[in-house]
Structure formats: C-alpha cells, structure tokens
Structure 1
Amino acid sequence: LDIMLDSGTALGIVSVAFHTFSGCIKGCQLLIEAADMPQNYEYLRNRLRLEELKLLDWWVVSRKETEKDVAPNDKNDAIVATLMHIQALTLDMTKIRDQYGLVLQASGYGGPQQISEDVPTELPLAGEQKAIWRKALDHAAVSWKMCPQRVRWVLFDGAKFEQLLLRFTGLNDTMLQFLQAEERRHHYKIQEETHLRVLAMHHNVGLLQQLVQALHVGATQAPPLPNKDLRRDTNTKFAKLAKLKALNMDTESSTKAHLKSNHGTAQAPVAQCIDITHISFSVEPVGRDRSAQQAVGVYSDKAVWIEWKIVDVEAMDIPFSYVVERVSRLSILLQSTEKLEELPLPICLGYILDPGLNRIGLVFEASLSTQPLVPESLHQRLQTCMKPSLSIRVAMAQKLASGLNYLHATGWLHKSLRSDNILFHGDDNNEWLSFWVSGFEYARPADPDELTEQPSSDKTHELYRHPDVQFDVPRDGPYGFRAPHDVFSLGVVLLEIAVWQPVNHFLGVSLTQRLSRAIIRKSRAQLMDDMSLSIAEAEAGHRFAEAIRLCLASEVILEQSDDVTDNGEQEHLKIGVEGNCLGDVVSILGGIDV
C-alpha cells in the first residue's frame, strides 16, 4: 500500500513504513523543542534526543525503502506496528495526556523554538543520517498538517515523562530485534559515532552532568537487551566518556564543581602526591628511547614504573608551579580511566616530585611480573621483532586510532604521540594488542585559554610533529597545539606499523648524523608522496594507506571570527575538513577485514 501526498510535492510516493517513521521524527522534534519544561528536567530532553538519534541510526542501518513498499510479511508488518507505537507515543497529544497525564498545548506555527542559549537544539547529524532526518521532516510537513509546529508544556511531571521515555527505549530495543546480526554490529558502530558527535556539542560541566543523568534514566529498570553478546551497552561507555570530559573540565576550574553519579553527588577526586621516599627504586634504564624519562620500583607492595618530566627551570617561560599543577591534573584524569577499556591508558597511582633533579614523575601501576620492568616500546619492537601478520598490524592500528579518538572526545590532547610512547605491558613478545599510550609529559586539555609548553628539544621527535608545531616556530593562530597535530602524529605511527620500521629508517635519516632542520622540514612531503604511500599500500593494503594519508593531511585552518589576536586582527582557529578526519580514519581502519 502506498500513500499519495498532495500533488506538486517533491516527495511523491512514500512507503507506509517511512510515512510512519516521519511521524515518529516529527513527534520527537515537537517534544524536544517543547517550551516551558522545568529546568531541573532538561536531562529528560537530552534522553529523548538520544532515543531519536538511535531510531535514525536504525533506519540508516536497516536500509528500509522510503519511496516504495516491500512485499507484505510478518517482519515488515511488525516493523510498521512498532513504528506506529512510537509515533503515538511522541505525536499523539491526546494519548500522551490520557496515558501519562502530561498536557501539551499548541503555541504557534513559526519555526523551531530556541530552548535556551546553552542547550544544544540541533541534532549532531552526519551524512545519510542527516538526509533521512531532513526528508522525514519534509514529508511530515505535508502529510501531518494537523500537527502544530510548536508546543508548550501546560502540565509536566518528571516521573511520568520518564515512564514515557522508558517506553520509547523499549520500543527502540524492539526495533533492533528486526536487524540481522551484522546489521546490529553496524548499528552499534554508528551509535558510537553519533555519541561522540553528541559529546562534542557539550562544552560545560553542567551540560555534561545533564547528559550523564539522561543516560542513567531507567538504567536499573531496563529489561535485558536482545542478543546482548552481540551488542554491548553503548550508554555505559558513553556515560563514562561524558564523566571523563566533565572531570577534565572540572579539574581545570579553580572552583571544584560537583560531578553527579548514580548515587547522587560526588566531588572530583584529588590528585595523589606520593612521597618519593615511599618508592623503592630499581636501577634506572639506559638506552636512547627513554633513558631520561623512566624508572621502575616498588610502591605499597606494587610494581610501578615512573615517567619523568624533566623541567628546565631556566629555559621555561611558564612558572614551575604551573607545570606541577598540569601534571597533578593529568594524574587525576589517568586515575579515572581505569575501567574504560577503550582508552589504552596505564593505571596512574599519582605523581611524585624530585626537586633535586628538577623533575616531576607520573607513577603507573606495572603489569604483573616477577620484578619491576620498564615496559617495552613499539619503537624498540620495530627494530628487534619480526614483522607481525597484517591482521595483527591492522588490529593495532584500529586500537590506537580508536583510543586517540576517545581521548580527543573527552577534550584532552596527547601532544607527544610517537612509537616510543606506545608501551607493551607483559613479558610476552608475541602479545601485540596489550599496549598503553603513554608519554603524557606534554599532554594538555584542549582549551584555547591554556598556556602551552614548548615541545622537547630532541630533534628525532620532530619527525612525528606536524610542521606547524616543529621547533620553535610560531604556532598557527593564538591557541598553540590542536587536535589535527595529534592526528598527524598518529599518521606517522600508523605508517611505521604498516611498513614495520621506525620513521627515520623509512626516510633514510641516520640518527648518528646531525639532523638538520631542512631534512625535518621536508619529511612530511616525503611521507605523503606517491612512492611512500605506495609502499604503505603494498605492505598493508589500500584502505590502511588511505587512513595514513588522511592523518598526514590533517590541518588547522584559520577563518575570520570575532576573536582578536595580539596584533589586532580578527582571527579564529577552526579545524578544517581534513583536520577533522579522525572519525573517518577510525571508520576506514574498522572496515578492514583481513
């Protein structure tokens, strides 16, 4: 059965399923934009937005026809029936009143109403998802003419609206049962991408608290998910990332905010400054990679390793106390990531001060071993281990890119990503996926108001740095290090993994000779030329090479804005299309099937 629209419309004929789906999207938008919701229930608006996004992702994954009906069968009938329940739940104001005691009233027929300055009203849509959303609303505009364009709450009850949302959640979970196993896995992946876009829209602790609260609605009441072994709980991971981003922002503020949890309100953790005399040090390691940066020992009967930051007090143009504060804040974030498996970060126990040698150390819990050992770096394995299989190298690249993507989602930049900062834990040289991303001596929040330290003076490290942040050249724009610079460094490491050799070997640069600026300056062009990418493609395949190219092409683009620089010019840093490619890199690598 096809439903004919008014003549002259651009949509023509649509399927019953899409007609019903468009009513669901229209209803969601009406409730999301409804005025006069009590401020303390704004988190419920967030949850409704997330359920709408989940339904949009379902339509994209299911590849349902929008312009014609498929042959009737039990599955398609059940899909339409479930969509009709969602439509009634969100669009039928009479049913909302009778079933839940919630009263809405039409308040005009203008455009979408602005809720408030801080609440993000635009859905973070991308690609096909955005096209389907737009088409659904266009169809609803001509097929649901009796619906108001805006509504306001006359009678609102938070507990009853939460019941409505839980019913919506249950129906969304029912929709997932109509997907095949591979489609459910795809839905999980694009839900992750959607969640990261949502997270990027929340720029203060208050909004992040609302987001976490929204994700916890009905968490203890929800029925078991179908095929739980195939679909992990995305909300749990999303909530952890939101909490980590809130913690990141919270540790930056001079007045500590309170972060909400499942059990009420909890204060942000305090940095643990460990007395250096409480650590029994072993002999510090020697060697080029990390001789001045690491030590091992025992603390509280635990094997630990320490990553030192050498502080050149005379050369620094920022106070020593600021560096101590930076490291202490970083230790808080690293402590909080213990249970977030997707972030390949070591477990931090705190930090120590060694003023006699002008250094500050982060103390990490070592892997189980008969004695404390300095973790072996990827840079070392590139030179001492046989090249692992392509499937292992792809899995390493996937984990590394995904981990950096999550780190950036929490508002934190690494700023020193290199193969000697990727550390394997454990004694088995055949274990390739048990690694940490370390080297946080220059990590910092992605806050344009933060002071920025100068990079280390080791010229071999410059091969991993974007040209904008090499040496002591002025940084592009007023804000120093930016996310695309991390992405460039990722591209260099991915190239090393693909061809299985350190970047200096790949470029034919000898570390025994003086490394001139001219050689370093042209390294990016060499890495991106056709010959280099062809070698990477021959070693790891076309898509792996394309991921490398995207990373190496990342840029920070300047555009005009209301911000004023020191020289009086209006200027603002914006990440351009190539510079915002990390999500694309994750998708490309994730799609490689060896």
Structure 2
Amino acid sequence: MLVARDVPDKYQQLRLRLEIEQGRLLSWGHSFGLLQEESEKEDTSRISIPEQVRYMVQGYIEPLWQKVLHFTAETPGFVPRDKREETPSVHHGGMARRFRLDRMYAKARQGTIKFKDRVNWAYWQMDKSEDLVECMRHVNGSVIALAEVKTQQEIQETVKATLMGLLSLQDTVNGLKELIVAVEEKRLDNRSSQMPLGEPNDLLLGLANLKKMRLQIGHDKNDGSLQSDLKIQPERVWPMNKMKYPSPQRQDATLDGKEGFWVEYKDYSSSDQIAGPTKDEIERHIVRELAALLISKLPSSFRVAQCVGYYEEAGSFGLVFEKHAAHADQTIIPLSHCLSLETQMPSLGERIALAQGIVQTLFQLHVVGWLHKGLRPANILLFEDHNGGIAYDKSYISGFEDARPVAQPNLTEEAHSRLLNDDWYRHPDIQTVKPAHREFQYCMRYDLYSLGILLVEIALWKPVLDIQSNVGPGDIKSFILSHNTQCLQRIQFAFGRKYAEIVMNCLNPGEEMDDHTQMDSYIYYFEKLVVKPMKQMSVD
C-alpha cells in the first residue's frame, strides 16, 4: 500500500496517515519484543506481557488483521489471481499460544510482495481505505494505552524519528501540506489520551511548515514582492568594524542607524570564473531561500540567529542578523575564542547544554533540507555580558556562507577557506589539502563529522589542533577513535560513556546513515544515535 504507484492527490494524506499508523504499530511491537529476529527470541531485554494483557491485545489485533485480509482480497491487483492461494491465513497456530506477531508480520509480507508490479491506487475504494486506516488508528491507541507510560514515551520517540524521516523525504509543497494535516490529526489524538506527547509533534509541525515555506519560495523565485520583502537597500546597512572579537566571517553593523545588528557575507564567483553557480543562481536558490528560512519564526530549539534580510555589494551578498532582545547590549563571542581560554572552562552542565543546543540545531537544519558546510567553533556564537558572564545554553549556529539546500547539488561551491585551520573540521574526503577533494559531493554526513569534532572540543575544552601536536587534520579522526591514544577514554571520563558513543557515531557513522541513498534512514538514525542520547544527558 505504501509503495503503490500512480497515487492521486486525494489519497496522499491517507497514505501518510497509513504510514504513521504503521510506524506506531511496529514501534509498539518492537517495544514488546514481538518483532525480533528468530536469533533474538530469547533476548531477556524484551518486556514480558501479562496473560490478561496478552488476550486483550489479541482482541484488538485479530479484527484488524481480518480487515486487512478482507481488504486485500477485495482489491484487484493487490495479489495476482494465480497467487491468491498464498494469501496468509489469520489462523496462525503459534500466534494465539505465543503471541509471536513477528511471524505473522513476516508471513503477511511474504504473501503480499509476490506481485509483478506495485498496486495501482485506481483499484482502491476511498471509503474502505479510510475505514482501514481509522481501524488501525483505533487499535494503535488501544494497545499502546495498555503499556506503561515510560514505554508509551519510548514508542512516541521512535514514531517521532520515523516522522522526521518522512519529513526529510517530502519535496513538494502539497506533500508537506498533507504531512502537516496528518501530524496535526495525530497530535489531537495524543492530547485526548493520557500520554504527555504533544511537544515532539509541535516541533515536527514547526519544521514541516518551515520546509513548506522554503519550497514555496523556490516555486515563487521570480515573485518580485517576495524579493522586495527580503532584499535590503545597501545604503541602509553600515558596517562598523567594532567587534570585540573580530572575525573574517562577520562585521557588526547598524541598520537604518540602529545598532544591534551584524552582517555575514557570502561571496559569489566573478564573471571570469567558469566553475560554480552564477551570481543569479546563488541569489535565487541560496541567499533568498536562506534569508527566508532564518527570518521565519523558528522553534525555540532551532538555535540560529534572526535574519532580517540581505543586501548586495561588490562581489558578495550580505546577510543581516539582529541580536535577540535578551542579548541586545551584550558582546558576540565565538566559541573558538572561548576554547582558547583554558583557564575559564565552563561547568560540566554548561558544556552539556552547549553540546545539546548545537546537536539539536544541526539535526533540525538537516530535517528541513539544508547543509551547513561550515560547522566549526568560529561559527558557534555566544554572548558575553558586561561582567564577562556567558550563557552557554543560549548558543547560536551561524556562518552560513557555504550553506546550500540539499536538493540543489548543482549549486555546490568550493569551501571558502578563510581560516588556515578549517580543514580540521572537514571530513577527510573533502579536506582542501587533498587534490581529489573536489570529486566528492558534499552530504549531510560531512556536517555530522564536523559536529563530532566540535563535541570532542567541548568535552576536552581545547581546540582540536591542540589535542595532539603531532597529528594533522587528515589523521585526527583515527587519533580520536583509536584505543591506543586514550582520547575516547578522556572524553568518557569527562562526560560519560554515552557522550563518547555519540562522538563515535558522528565521526564514524554506519551505512544506515548514508544520506546519498537513504535520506529517511539518515534522519532516523541521526535522531536515534545522536539527538536522543544527547537530549537524555543531564547533570544531577
């Protein structure tokens, strides 16, 4: 059903609802150990199901299973006529006795994948399809409600990760609208239950709306009114060069004579350069979309500075940012400067809060379809008050000079190496000292690598190039991960085993995080292996 072909628009929301409900059911089954492989059937970590609950659950599942079988039998093309006898029977001997739903699920899959082509949605009846999804929603709510609150929350976290993956795959405005409607419906269901599950869906809805807006801007790129809303006349902006901690990436500025702003620059290729996107492409597909994203109302956990628009000057575009009201009279201080002050190491709790903010923001940036391409301490902004105090839990990711939408690989530009040490934060494939670095197309895993290096610096509170003097950028990954160097042991001693595992997952992700071919899988495992464990860290 989920891979059916020729799906008309009116069925899109229904299919998304079905995918959400499938995720809820399978997450529930996995939480109870019902979808384990045979080799894992003796796993003692599985939750044992009391006999009374077992029969109650079976009472919910059996009618749903009967409805699925009836639905497939009535749908021409779902199972070829010469294969109808292979349709699985609900009378599965082991299910009633042992409640092994994994076997039933596997058997159902065997009976439905043996058709020559995908199901054509033209065969489906809307009312029966809606009835099936509604039945599945009711069953999910009933069986999940039988679990303990902690298990319900774990199920919700798993479903949220799946939905984030779904969001990352949606590349049309209509598709995102349907996802928003489906998630909104699920959020209302949650609020009517006893589960405290509203917050994850609020975040998901916020990100879905952001991505929808970005796609709309892409479709309306020739809209003059949109351009006038985002583009600022250059004479309104006046750079001042008064930053206490100067940086090649940014300058403080006034806007219409008012202080509290700064500018970050994005260069564009000169007319005599053949390679790379044109100035017009950069403005339409990167600068304008980026300004619109950063000018929007963002979730509180999306820690990026508030953009007010952009302007053009010779050879570059300037993105204009405004300080948050809470930091209006405070001084911008990059994390790179803080790391150099080893005598002023912040507390463990402050460093955890700093790491959590960076992780969550990068994750959300990826979910809405953007690559940062410049994640390093110089682009993590903090604010220093008049007494020298720094709020490490109020960090902002900045430095979007190389950023681009994931969906625009043709807009890839060579990284701007304004600082000699930038290669320390680049994945070994794309370090500029390597002649072949231009052969690799930038992907999300490369941002994840940069995040891993940042997390190492935060844990040890020193710049990565000072961690080991005789190791270069090309060898730092091996140095950190090697058991012989004890770098991971130092990180684990400072922050615990969970943090060290997060670092390993960033620097050396598995195949499931190959976002070139499995975008939804990448998002799912980013949330599961990095975001979720980082969120769980705290100082008692």
TM-score band (shorter)?
A: 0.7 to 0.9
Q: d(CA) in 1 for partners of 2:119 and 2:409? A: 39
Q: Could you tell me which residue of structure 2 aligns to residue 537 of structure 1?
A: 492
For the pair 1:59 / 2:57, whether they are aligned, the reply is no
Q: In the TM superposition, what is the alpha-carbon distance from 1:539 to its structure 2 partner?
A: 1.8
One-letter amino acid matched to 2:12: E
User: What does the per-residue CA deviation read over 1:32-70, in whole Å, with 9 as the maximum and x for residues that have no partner?
Assistant: 578897542232122112111112112222446998995
Q: Summarize the Cα distance change of 1:82–1:502 in structure 2 as closer, same or farther, 3 Å threshold.
A: same
Question: Is the 2:191–2:198 contact (alpha carbons within 8 Å) kept by the matching residues of 1?
Answer: no
SS in 2 for 1:324: helix
One-letter amino acid matched to 1:237: L
Q: In the TM superposition, what is the alpha-carbon distance from 1:430 to its structure 2 partner?
A: 5.2
Q: Could you tell me which residue of structure 2 aligns to residue 412 of structure 1?
A: 370
User: What does the per-residue CA deviation read over 1:524-552, in whole Å, with 9 as the maximum and x for residues that have no partner?
Assistant: 44344332222222222223222222322
Q: Could you tell me which residue of structure 2 aligns to residue 493 of structure 1?
A: 454
SS in 1 for 2:340: helix
Q: d(CA) in 2 for partners of 1:401 and 1:91? A: 44
For the pair 1:438 / 2:398, whether they are aligned, the reply is yes
Question: Is the 1:413–1:444 contact (alpha carbons within 8 Å) kept by the matching residues of 2?
Answer: yes
Q: In the TM superposition, what is the alpha-carbon distance from 1:418 to its structure 2 partner?
A: 0.6
Q: In the TM superposition, what is the alpha-carbon distance from 1:294 to its structure 2 partner?
A: 2.5
Question: Is the 1:351–1:361 contact (alpha carbons within 8 Å) kept by the matching residues of 2?
Answer: yes
One-letter amino acid matched to 1:503: V
User: What does the per-residue CA deviation read over 1:345-368, in whole Å, with 9 as the maximum and x for residues that have no partner?
Assistant: 22222112233xx44221223122
SS in 2 for 1:284: coil
Q: Which has the higher helix share?
A: 2
For the pair 1:586 / 2:531, whether they are aligned, the reply is yes
Q: d(CA) in 1 for partners of 2:430 and 2:357? A: 25
User: What does the per-residue CA deviation read over 1:560-586, in whole Å, with 9 as the maximum and x for residues that have no partner?
Assistant: xxxxxxxxxxxx96689x998634233
Question: Is the 1:305–1:374 contact (alpha carbons within 8 Å) kept by the matching residues of 2?
Answer: no
Q: In the TM superposition, what is the alpha-carbon distance from 1:306 to its structure 2 partner?
A: 2.3
Q: In the TM superposition, what is the alpha-carbon distance from 1:213 to its structure 2 partner?
A: 4.2
For the pair 1:189 / 2:157, whether they are aligned, the reply is yes
SS in 2 for 1:294: strand
Q: d(CA) in 1 for partners of 2:64 and 2:226? A: 39
- Of 160-169 and 174-183, more deviation after overlay is shown by 160-169
User: What does the per-residue CA deviation read over 1:126-176, in whole Å, with 9 as the maximum and x for residues that have no partner?
Assistant: xxxxxx9863323447999xxxx9897767346x86576456435433433
Q: Summarize the Cα distance change of 1:133–1:279 in structure 2 as closer, same or farther, 3 Å threshold.
A: farther
One-letter amino acid matched to 1:156: Q
Q: d(CA) in 1 for partners of 2:429 and 2:35? A: 47
- Of 103-112 and 368-377, more deviation after overlay is shown by 103-112
Q: In the TM superposition, what is the alpha-carbon distance from 1:381 to its structure 2 partner?
A: 2.5
Q: Could you tell me which residue of structure 1 aligns to residue 92 of structure 2?
A: none
Q: TM-score of the superposition, structure 2-length normalised?
A: 0.75
Question: Is the 1:248–1:412 contact (alpha carbons within 8 Å) kept by the matching residues of 2?
Answer: no
Question: Is the 2:249–2:399 contact (alpha carbons within 8 Å) kept by the matching residues of 1?
Answer: no
Q: Could you tell me which residue of structure 1 aligns to residue 125 of structure 2?
A: 156
- Of 493-502 and 470-479, more deviation after overlay is shown by 470-479
For the pair 1:324 / 2:283, whether they are aligned, the reply is yes
Q: Which has the higher strand share?
A: 1
Q: Could you tell me which residue of structure 1 aligns to residue 421 of structure 2?
A: 460
1:285 counterpart (243, 253, 267): 243
Q: d(CA) in 2 for partners of 1:449 and 1:112? A: 45
One-letter amino acid matched to 2:262: W
1:351 counterpart (267, 292, 310): 310
Q: In the TM superposition, what is the alpha-carbon distance from 1:108 to its structure 2 partner?
A: 5.8
Q: Summarize the Cα distance change of 1:527–1:442 in structure 2 as closer, same or farther, 3 Å threshold.
A: same
SS in 2 for 1:172: helix
Q: In the TM superposition, what is the alpha-carbon distance from 1:334 to its structure 2 partner?
A: 1.8
Q: Summarize the Cα distance change of 1:199–1:414 in structure 2 as closer, same or farther, 3 Å threshold.
A: same
Q: Summarize the Cα distance change of 1:70–1:442 in structure 2 as closer, same or farther, 3 Å threshold.
A: closer
Q: Summarize the Cα distance change of 1:172–1:256 in structure 2 as closer, same or farther, 3 Å threshold.
A: farther
One-letter amino acid matched to 1:191: V
Q: In the TM superposition, what is the alpha-carbon distance from 1:315 to its structure 2 partner?
A: 8.6
SS in 2 for 1:456: coil
Q: Could you tell me which residue of structure 2 aligns to residue 333 of structure 1?
A: 293
Q: Could you tell me which residue of structure 2 aligns to residue 447 of structure 1?
A: 407
Where do 5+ consecutive residues of structure 2 fail to align?
43-47, 84-99, 113-117
Q: d(CA) in 1 for partners of 2:139 and 2:193? A: 12
Q: Summarize the Cα distance change of 1:525–1:112 in structure 2 as closer, same or farther, 3 Å threshold.
A: farther
1:178 counterpart (134, 137, 146): 146
Q: Could you tell me which residue of structure 1 aligns to residue 432 of structure 2?
A: 471
Q: Could you tell me which residue of structure 1 aligns to residue 340 of structure 2?
A: 383
Q: d(CA) in 2 for partners of 1:410 and 1:70? A: 39
Question: Is the 2:380–2:396 contact (alpha carbons within 8 Å) kept by the matching residues of 1?
Answer: yes
| Aligned CA-pair RMSD | 4.4
One-letter amino acid matched to 1:526: F
Q: Could you tell me which residue of structure 1 aligns to residue 197 of structure 2?
A: 231
Q: d(CA) in 1 for partners of 2:502 and 2:232? A: 41
Q: Could you tell me which residue of structure 2 aligns to residue 12 of structure 1?
A: none
User: What does the per-residue CA deviation read over 1:365-393, in whole Å, with 9 as the maximum and x for residues that have no partner?
Assistant: 31225855453222223234733343443
Q: d(CA) in 2 for partners of 1:111 and 1:418? A: 59
SS in 1 for 2:254: strand
Q: Summarize the Cα distance change of 1:50–1:268 in structure 2 as closer, same or farther, 3 Å threshold.
A: farther
Q: d(CA) in 1 for partners of 2:50 and 2:330? A: 64
For the pair 1:49 / 2:19, whether they are aligned, the reply is yes
One-letter amino acid matched to 1:354: E
Q: Could you tell me which residue of structure 2 aligns to residue 569 of structure 1?
A: none
One-letter amino acid matched to 2:348: L
One-letter amino acid matched to 2:457: E
Q: d(CA) in 1 for partners of 2:380 and 2:396? A: 6
Q: Could you tell me which residue of structure 2 aligns to residue 40 of structure 1?
A: 10
User: What does the per-residue CA deviation read over 1:95-132, in whole Å, with 9 as the maximum and x for residues that have no partner?
Assistant: xxxxxxxx95454633999xxxxxxxxxxxxxxxxxx9
Q: d(CA) in 1 for partners of 2:522 and 2:190? A: 41
Question: Is the 1:51–1:169 contact (alpha carbons within 8 Å) kept by the matching residues of 2?
Answer: yes
One-letter amino acid matched to 2:51: P
User: What does the per-residue CA deviation read over 1:169-220, in whole Å, with 9 as the maximum and x for residues that have no partner?
Assistant: 354334332232322221222112211232344444554444334334587x
Where do 5+ consecutive residues of structure 1 fail to align?
1-28, 95-102, 114-131, 258-266, 510-517, 560-571
SS in 1 for 2:16: helix
Q: Summarize the Cα distance change of 1:174–1:346 in structure 2 as closer, same or farther, 3 Å threshold.
A: farther
Q: TM-score of the superposition, structure 1-length normalised?
A: 0.69
For the pair 1:394 / 2:338, whether they are aligned, the reply is no
Identity %: 22
User: What does the per-residue CA deviation read over 1:83-103, in whole Å, with 9 as the maximum and x for residues that have no partner?
Assistant: 356446655559xxxxxxxx9
Q: In the TM superposition, what is the alpha-carbon distance from 1:440 to its structure 2 partner?
A: 0.5
Q: Summarize the Cα distance change of 1:79–1:250 in structure 2 as closer, same or farther, 3 Å threshold.
A: same
Q: In the TM superposition, what is the alpha-carbon distance from 1:443 to its structure 2 partner?
A: 0.5
Q: d(CA) in 1 for partners of 2:111 and 2:313? A: 71
Q: In the TM superposition, what is the alpha-carbon distance from 1:412 to its structure 2 partner?
A: 1.1
Question: Is the 1:378–1:424 contact (alpha carbons within 8 Å) kept by the matching residues of 2?
Answer: yes
Q: d(CA) in 1 for partners of 2:82 and 2:205? A: 28
SS in 2 for 1:403: helix
SS in 1 for 2:401: helix
SS in 2 for 1:459: coil
Q: d(CA) in 2 for partners of 1:409 and 1:190? A: 16
Question: Is the 2:358–2:395 contact (alpha carbons within 8 Å) kept by the matching residues of 1?
Answer: no
One-letter amino acid matched to 2:304: L
Q: d(CA) in 2 for partners of 1:308 and 1:242? A: 28
- Of 393-402 and 474-483, more deviation after overlay is shown by 474-483
